[in-house]
Amino acid sequence: MKLTHTNDQGKANMVDVSDKPPMLREAIAEGFIKMGTDTIKLIKENQMKKGDVLTISEIAGIQGAKKTSELIPLCHPLQLTKVTVKSSLQEDGVHVTCQTKCIGETGVEMEALTGVQVALLTLYDMCKAVDKYMEIQNVHLIEKTKKAI
């Protein structure tokens, strides 16, 4: 049996948001990377060869959120007014949250989710030499809001 994919419209489309009013939009996403106790100790003592793992992951997450429309083909480019990424060490890994904000016609949840994922991937990259069993888990959107301005 041969399976084929057909798009009813024959092409991919970016959603037209030109008729939507600009609103204050915010989103918060989170995720976790499970790590071994030796890895956590190295992070806590700032002994990883690549540097300050938590700070670098936060900066990477901010950069990732800003580049979302370049990574996800049909995602609108947004002028973000705020991106905050927090990486916090837990006893079994690192918890990451990302908050995004903009004034625009479409939501910022993809930017928050991308920020979390890039921060987690950065943590993975920075720790992979010492921990072969890390696992990225439970990346999800916590909250998405919009308010008239």
Which is catalytic among the residues 8, 19, 125, 131? Answer: 125
Q: Do 136 and 33 meet the contact criterion of CB atoms below 8 Å apart?
A: yes
Which residue is associated with the tokens 């004034």?
103
Longest dimension (CA), the chain: 57
Q: Do 112 and 84 meet the contact criterion of CB atoms below 8 Å apart?
A: no
Query: By C-alpha distance, which of 119, 114, 102, 123 is closest to 17?
Result: 102
Q: DSSP label at 126?
A: H
* Residue 92 falls in the annotated catalytic set: no
Virtual torsion, Cα 43, 47, 49, 55, nearest 10 deg:
50
Q: Which residues are catalytic?
A: 125
